[in-house]
Amino acid sequence: MPKDPVCGMNVPETVPYKLTYKGVTYYFCCEDCLEEFKSDPEYYLSRMQKEPHKH
């Protein structure tokens, strides 16, 4: 299941909120997260990679 890069939620691929950025499709839980990502994609992508595991 894809992960919303803005809030970190797992999102089903059936959601209408998605964006293809640099050839990769990202999925979002809501329109707000999609808009956030669009405003600064690089920030959210680098944050996503650095995010430590919380388990």
Q: Which residues bind Zn ion (CB under 5 A)?
A: 4, 6-7, 29, 33
CB of 1 to Zn ion, least distance (A): 13
Return d(Cα 9, Cα 54) in angstroms, integer: 13
Which CB atom, from 7 or from 19, has the smaller least distance to Zn ion?
7
Which CB atom, from 8 or from 46, has the smaller least distance to Zn ion?
8
39 — phi, psi (to 5°)? -70, -25
* Contact predicate 44/7, CB 8 Å: no
CB of 34 to Zn ion, least distance (A): 8
